[in-house]
Every structure is written in C-alpha cells, then in structure tokens.
C-alpha cells in the first residue's frame, strides 16, 4: 500500500478498521467453542477504579449516584472517567505512526465501536510466564523491568504443551497484577508514577513483533500496565520502536492491558489445559481510542 510503513499490514484486509480481528471468522468462533469443557466462567475485568491512584497520570474518576435510596429510580455519573483506567483494550486511535493511524485511516474514522460491531470471540491462550519462571527456579520480580523475549515465550509454551493457532488471543500473565493486588497503598502510590513504575513485559523489538505476527494471533493481552516492558524500550537495541507502535499502528494487532488473569491461570494450571473461549464486548464508543475489556473466559 502506497505510503504505508515498512513491514506493516496496511492494505492487507478489506476491513482495515478491524486489523487482525479480521481473522475472527465464524469458523474460528466454532473452533473457540471447543475450548469449553465444563462451562466455568472467569471474569477478566478488574473493578472500575481498582487501580488507585490511576497509572500514567490519568484522571481519577468520581462515581456519583443520583438521588437517594428512597427515590423511584437512580442513575450513575462517572466524572473524569478514563476508558484505560482499569482492564481495557487499546484501540487503533490510541497511538499513531508518523505516517498515520493504522491502515492509513484518518483518526476521526477510527473508533472502538468498529470492534464492538464485529465482536471479539476467540480462543484465548494463557501463557503463564510468571508460573513458568518460578517453576524453573528463576522467578520474575514483578517490580522490575524483566524483558519477555521470543525465547522465553516459546519455552513457556513448550512447557505448557500449547500451540498457538490462527486467530488466537495471546493472554500473557507476568505476575504484575498479582503483586499489585497484595501491595499496600504506599507501593500503589509509587507505582502510579511514570518515574518509579517498573513492570515485566514483552521485549520491544522487531523479533517480538515478527513472532506475534507469524503466530497469527488476533490480539495480545496481559496483566501488566503496558503489555510491553516498562520503562518502555528496556533491553531493546538502539533504534527500536516501542511495541505499541509496531502492533497497534503498523500491524493492526489490538493490545489489552491490566487484564485480571490470575484465577483463569490457576484453573489452567490445575488441569494443564491453557485455553478458553474468550468473549469480549468493547464499548460502542464512536471515535473511541480505547475501551474497557468487558471480557469473560469460558472453560
């Protein structure tokens, strides 16, 4: 496609606004259903305002319930609400390549409502990096910028006897959210600062992006603040771009952050089966840059 970034997927699909979600077809949905064995449900969203204070200097929302308990009806008001304040999807309007938003589509024509109309139903594959590293005697420190590279991903998948398929959603558990749940308020306050936040995540280099593309995943989600390692570009070679740029703006692979994967990972470990049917309904927000995950895993 003329004007597209090098090694991008611009122009590959007829519905550019969906990016890699184009791989979620009726056939892939039927395949995802085969991951359901018992009908057990695992909600994957944190409560709104659970991350307190909000990360990255985002606004702190205020929940106001109108009226009183004796009134016939009451409403909710969310003042200062940021769609990325809790478990969420980063949409294609969230970040821009110097040559434009994903697919060369103007920002005003992007929006998570496109994903909402299509829906996200897929086979979700948990890759429990935190558990794998602990089992091999080299546990991840969730408060340090540990780089998860292709070699580590492949070794963890092999240990789980798991193979990725076209259209899968990769669900990466780093252990950061488990740490956050147990942290006291002083540690949470410190984590809210860009200067002091440290978190394990995917190594931001071409090999990671190439591996994700070659694996055929429709999206990648994680239990950490940014999917990729924080601080950004930790461990990356000079001249590498951040993974957000590669995945969202160039390859059209959606990213989900702060997903609550702990209970799902426990269930997967218990029966040594690392997949589930993932159902997510992004917010029908025209021109939206991001959306709450609204996600459920079914096993």
Q: pLDDT digits over 193-220, tens only? A: 999 999 999 999 999 999 999 999 999 9
Q: How large a percentage of the chain has pLDDT more than 90? A: 98
How confident is the model over 260-273, as a mean pLDDT?
98
What is the distance between the alpha carbons of residues 112 and 91, in angstroms, rounded to a whole number? 6
Place of tokens 């910028």: 145
Q: Please give the pLDDT value at position 2.
A: 83
Place of tokens 């459920």: 296
In a domain, residue 2? The reply is no
What DSSP letter does each residue of 169-198 carry, written as one string?
A: EEEEE-SHHHHHHH--HHHHHHHTSTTT--
Assessment of whether the complete model's pTM goes beyond 0.85: yes
Of the pLDDT bands very low, low, confident and very high (cuts 50, 70, 90), residue 3 is: confident
How confident is the model over 19-31, as a mean pLDDT?
96
Residues sharing a CB contact under 8 Å with residue 213, sequence separation 6 or more, in sequence order: 9, 251, 253
Q: pLDDT digits over 61-76, tens only? A: 999 999 999 999 999 9
CA R_g for the chain: 19
Of the pLDDT bands very low, low, confident and very high (cuts 50, 70, 90), residue 1 is: confident
Give the 3-state secondary structure of residue 76: strand
Q: What is the mean pLDDT of the chain?
A: 97
Q: Where are the beta strands (DSSP E) in the chain?
A: 41-43, 62-65, 76-79, 88-90, 120-128, 147-148, 169-173, 201-202, 219-222, 255-257, 275-280, 290-292, 295-298
Among the listed residues 163, 157, 140, the one whose alpha carbon sits nearest the alpha carbon of residue 229: 140
In a domain, residue 74? The reply is no
Domain of 45, CATH number, reads 3.50.30.50
Structural domain of residue 240, as residue ranges? 16-55+83-298
In a domain, residue 72? The reply is no
In a domain, residue 30? The reply is yes
Q: pLDDT digits over 147-199, tens only? A: 999 999 999 999 999 999 999 999 999 999 999 999 999 999 999 999 999 99
Q: Please give the pLDDT value at position 252.
A: 98
The total of structural domains in the chain comes to: 1
In a domain, residue 272? The reply is yes
Among the listed residues 24, 205, 25, 3, the one whose alpha carbon sits nearest the alpha carbon of residue 103: 3
What is the distance between the alpha carbons of residues 289 and 110, in angstroms, rounded to a whole number? 8
Q: pLDDT digits over 89-103, tens only? A: 999 999 999 999 999
Q: Please give the pLDDT value at position 281.
A: 97
In a domain, residue 150? The reply is yes
Q: Does residue 228 have a pLDDT over 90?
A: yes
Q: pLDDT digits over 112-136, tens only? A: 999 999 999 999 999 999 999 999 9
In a domain, residue 68? The reply is no
In a domain, residue 66? The reply is no
CA distances from 117 to 14, 17, 120, 287 (A): 16, 11, 9, 13
């Amino acid at each position: 496609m003329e004007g597209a970034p090098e090694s991008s997927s611009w122009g590959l699909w007829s519905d550019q606004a969906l990016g890699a979600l184009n791989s979620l077809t009726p056939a892939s949905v039927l395949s995802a259903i085969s991951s359901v064995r018992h009908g057990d449900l695992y909600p994957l969203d944190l409560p709104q305002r659970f991350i307190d204070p909000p990360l990255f200097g985002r606004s702190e929302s205020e929940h106001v319930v109108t009226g009183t308990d004796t009134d016939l009806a009451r409403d909710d008001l969310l003042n200062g609400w940021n769609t990325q304040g809790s478990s969420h999807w980063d949409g294609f309007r969230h970040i821009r390549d110097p040559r434009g938003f994903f697919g060369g589509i103007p920002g005003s024509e992007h929006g998570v409502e496109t994903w909402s109309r299509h829906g996200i139903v897929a086979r979700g594959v948990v890759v429990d990096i935190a558990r794998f590293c602990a089992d091999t005697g080299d546990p991840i420190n969730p408060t340090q910028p540990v780089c998860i590279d292709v070699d580590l991903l492949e070794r963890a998948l092999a240990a789980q006897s798991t193979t990725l398929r076209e259209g899968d959603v990769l669900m990466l558990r780093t252990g950061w959210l488990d740490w956050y749940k147990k942290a006291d308020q002083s540690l949470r306050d410190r984590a809210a600062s860009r200067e002091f936040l440290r978190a394990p995540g995917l190594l931001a280099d071409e090999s990671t992006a190439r591996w994700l593309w070659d694996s055929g995943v429709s999206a990648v989600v994680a239990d950490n603040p940014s999917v990729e390692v924080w601080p950004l570009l930790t461990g990356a070679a000079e001249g590498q771009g951040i993974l957000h740029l590669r995945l969202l703006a160039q390859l059209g692979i959606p990213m989900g952050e702060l997903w609550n994967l702990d209970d799902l990972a426990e269930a997967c470990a218990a029966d040594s089966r690392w997949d589930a049917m993932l159902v997510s309904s992004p917010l029908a927000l025209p021109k939206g840059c991001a959306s709450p995950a609204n996600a459920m895993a079914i096993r």
